[in-house]
Each structure stands twice: as C-alpha cells, then as structure tokens.
C-alpha cells in the first residue's frame, strides 16, 4: 500500500520566506484552504487511510486533522517528524541571511540541508532520526494506505531513507510545495505520483 507525503499548508512565515524550523507557526487562511483542497482531492480519489502520522507542530497537525475530517482514523503526532533544526537561521528571513552572508548562505541553501545550519541539524542527522519510523512502514502498510503530514526538509529526509538516494538531483526532486501530494510505494522504494492541488 502507498505512503502519502503531505507538506503542511502555508503559514505567514512561508509566505514571507522566513525559516520556521521548530517554531510553532499556525496555518494562515491560504494554508487552511490548501489542506481542504488536499482533502477534497483524496476524497475524490477514494483514498482511505489505515494509519496517519504527523509532526506535533500545529501547522502539520491541523493540516492532518483537516485531511482526515469524516474519517475514523486518528492522526498520531510523532516528535521524530519535527522539521529539521535550523539553529541560528530559525526565524530569519532568507533575504536577510542572503544580504548578511552572501555566497556562504547561497552555498548552504544550494546544499539542500546536507550541510547543517550553524547550531542546527543536517539532513543525514534527520535521516537517522526518522529511519526507525520509516523502517516500520512496510509492516504497517499491509493494513492500508499511510498518511504522513510533516515539513519540507523532514519529508525530504524520509524520501531519502526510503529510496536510499541522497544525491543532489534526487533531493531536489524530493522537495515539496505546500499544496502537493507525493505518493510513494514502499515495496518499490519509489515515487508513484505527485499531485498539485
């Protein structure tokens, strides 16, 4: 059975291009509407989740709750699905960091989290964090489809664990917009489809 990766809906910090990381920023009106559109698409496709996990941060939890409205499935918040820690970059605007750090920030940004932000966490450290959870999914998937609602970088880390791919092209492909559904097959360890709503 497939795993459905959903990135939380938009927040004001997403709109401002401000790094959220572990900050518990709520969905804005656009983010709530994005979650509702995702729910409508999944309902139209007659997707029935057997299990659902989310990050405990409100933007992911509320997105998951909206997606699961009308379902008997309760979402399980798991701290391992928290966004990658961005250390000194958390709460900072990308434009501010670019102006302040110039080429060093551009190099960090293009590394796609494989290099830790100062005082933060690298993608490989995040992969180690989520690996025990991901390794359980083949057994869980026997019961039916799995819903995961989390964040940009931690979703990338889970996809890297599943596929055993961490090259730049793969990581770029693993990126996800706030209104995107990525469907993965655990048996083939590959993405089946990506849907923008």
pLDDT digits (tens, 9 = 90+) for 94-134: 999 999 999 999 999 999 999 999 999 999 999 999 999 99
Is a pLDDT exceeding 90 seen at residue 141?
no
Sorting pLDDT into bands at 50, 70 and 90, what band is 8? very high
Helix (H, G, I), strand (E, B) or coil at 122: coil
Is a pLDDT exceeding 90 seen at residue 146?
yes
| Pair 66, 39: CB distance under 8 Å | yes
| Cβ count within 10 A of residue 74 | 10
User: What is the average pLDDT across 6-26?
Assistant: 98
Sorting pLDDT into bands at 50, 70 and 90, what band is 140? confident
Is a pLDDT exceeding 90 seen at residue 139?
no
Nearest of 75, 18, 47 to residue 181 by alpha carbon: 47
| Cβ count within 10 A of residue 45 | 11
User: What is the average pLDDT across 2-27?
Assistant: 98
Q: Two tokens at 97?
A: 């960091």
Q: How far apart are the first and last CA of the chain?
A: 22
| Cβ count within 10 A of residue 106 | 12
pLDDT at 142: 77
* DSSP letter, residue 103: H
Per-residue pLDDT of 152-184, as tens digits, reads 999 999 999 999 999 999 999 999 999 899 999
Q: Two tokens at 11?
A: 């927040």
Per-residue pLDDT of 28-74, as tens digits, reads 999 999 999 999 999 999 999 999 999 999 999 999 999 999 999 99
Looking at 45-122, list the stretches that DSSP marks H as alpha helix, in order from N- to C-terminal side: 58-67, 94-101, 103-110
83 included as an active-site residue:
yes
User: What is the average pLDDT across 136-154?
Assistant: 90
- Entry pTM: 0.96
Whole-angstrom Cα distance, residue 131 to residue 125? 10
SS3 of the chain: helix, strand, coil, percent, to 5? 45, 20, 35
8 included as an active-site residue:
yes
pLDDT at 116: 98
**C-alpha torsion angle, residues 82, 8, 69, 28 (rounded to 10):** 120
Kindly report the CATH number assigned to the domain that includes residue 187: 3.40.50.1240
Catalytic residue from among 76, 83, 90, 96:
83
Which range of residues forms the domain containing residue 157? 2-196
pLDDT at 188: 87
State the angle between helix axes of 103-110 and 94-101 in degrees (0 to 180), rounded to the nearest 10.
Answer: 130
Q: Total domain count for the chain?
A: 1
């Amino acid at each position: 059975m497939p795993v459905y990766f959903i990135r939380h809906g938009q927040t004001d910090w997403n709109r401002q291009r401000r790094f959220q990381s572990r900050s518990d920023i709520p969905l804005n009106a656009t983010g709530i509407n994005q979650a509702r559109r995702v729910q409508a698409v999944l309902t139209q496709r007659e997707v029935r989740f057997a299990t659902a996990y989310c990050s405990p941060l409100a933007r992911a939890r509320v997105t998951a709750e909206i997606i699961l409205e009308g379902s008997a499935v309760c979402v399980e918040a798991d701290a391992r699905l928290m966004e990658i820690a961005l250390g000194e970059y958390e709460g900072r605007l990308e434009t501010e960091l670019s102006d302040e750090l110039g080429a060093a920030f551009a190099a960090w940004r293009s590394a796609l989290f494989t290099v830790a932000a100062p005082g933060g966490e690298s993608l490989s450290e995040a992969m180690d964090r989520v690996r025990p959870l991901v390794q359980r999914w083949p057994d869980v998937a026997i019961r039916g489809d799995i819903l995961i609602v989390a964040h940009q970088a931690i979703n990338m880390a889970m996809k890297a664990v599943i596929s055993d791919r961490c090259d730049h092209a793969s990581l770029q492909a693993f990126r996800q917009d706030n209104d995107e559904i990525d469907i993965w097959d655990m048996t083939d360890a590959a993405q089946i489809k990506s849907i923008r709503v």
